[in-house]
């Protein structure tokens, strides 16, 4: 059995903020690995600025290189149609029937959980780790939590490693992290304006973007 985190997203492009969040989760949760899963057709994104899946997949591959436990997954890239989390989870359960899965999402994405396909069922089938920056959207987040009423709610004490008493019991775990203030949209804006993105993405990802003239 492996404890597997699932970090999905458009990754348009993947950046150091994504990696920092994953590193923080690995620090506080007893996960064996985190799968980075770029979406094929993100259902909640404007498609006009999304570069082809082959480029986003390759950037995720590059970003995960040399980082133990960070595993790129092309499951959604190879699946036709919109990338729905509930379908991804069920496919992964077929592939890895012994694993326990945990979705990792930012607080901004979790605020839209009620728009996700079959979100109530998804909350019953796996745990969620919601990462947020200090003071970020806490009031709005609490309102969403009040509406969805998770069976188990845990607010993480950052000074201690999380003690998960029942891996098979789906729960909602809130983790406050000192995240990097980076967004994919800001990176795309800087590239269009001819501004540097050094330090915002891994060096290999920056080289790939420049070589393929993405987002210009």
Q: Which domain holds residue 175?
A: 3-181
Report the alpha-carbon distance of residue 155 to residue 173 in Å, rounded: 6
pLDDT tens digits for range 53-67: 999 999 999 999 999
Residue 193 domain-assigned? no
CATH of the domain at 65: 3.40.50.620
Q: What is the pLDDT of residue 155?
A: 84
Question: How many folded domains does the chain comprise?
Answer: 1
Q: pLDDT: is 56 or 80 the higher one?
A: 56
Span 148-152, mean pLDDT?
89
What is this structure's pTM?
Answer: 0.92
Report the alpha-carbon distance of residue 163 to residue 186 in Å, rounded: 36
CA dihedral 70, 38, 112, 16 (to 10 degrees): 50
Q: What is the pLDDT of residue 83?
A: 84
Report the alpha-carbon distance of residue 15 to residue 205 in Å, rounded: 8
Evaluate whether 64 touches 52 at the Cβ level (below 8 Å): no
- 105 three-state secondary structure: strand
What angle, rounded to 10 degrees, do the helices at 53-64 and 203-212 form?
A: 150
pLDDT tens digits for range 153-185: 988 866 665 566 677 789 999 988 877 789 999
Confidence check: pLDDT of 45 > 60: no
Residue 144 domain-assigned? yes
Cβ neighbors of 171 (< 8 A, separation 6 or more) are: 127, 128, 150, 151, 152, 153, 154
205 pLDDT tier (thresholds 50, 70, 90) = very high
Residue 199 domain-assigned? no
């Amino acid at each position: 059995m492996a404890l597997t985190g699932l970090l999905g997203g458009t990754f348009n492009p993947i950046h150091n903020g994504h990696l920092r969040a994953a590193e923080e989760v690995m620090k506080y949760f007893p996960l064996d690995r985190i799968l980075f899963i770029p979406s094929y057709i993100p259902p909640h994104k404007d498609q006009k600025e999304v570069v082809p899946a082959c480029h986003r997949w390759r950037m995720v591959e590059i970003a995960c290189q040399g980082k133990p436990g960070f595993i790129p997954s092309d499951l959604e890239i190879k699946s036709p149609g919109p990338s729905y989390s509930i379908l991804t989870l069920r496919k992964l359960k077929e592939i890895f029937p012994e694993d326990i899965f945990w979705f990792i999402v930012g607080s901004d994405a979790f605020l839209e959980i009620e728009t996700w396909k079959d979100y109530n069922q998804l909350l019953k089938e796996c745990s969620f780790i919601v990462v947020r920056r200090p003071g970020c959207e806490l009031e709005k987040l609490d309102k969403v939590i009040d509406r969805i009423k998770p069976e188990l709610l845990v607010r993480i004490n950052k000074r201690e490693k999380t003690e998960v008493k029942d891996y098979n019991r789906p729960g909602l775990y809130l983790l406050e992290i000192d995240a990097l203030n980076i967004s994919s949209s800001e990176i795309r804006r800087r590239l269009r304006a001819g501004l540097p993105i050094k330090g915002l993405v891994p060096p290999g990802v920056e080289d790939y973007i420049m070589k393929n003239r993405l987002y210009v």
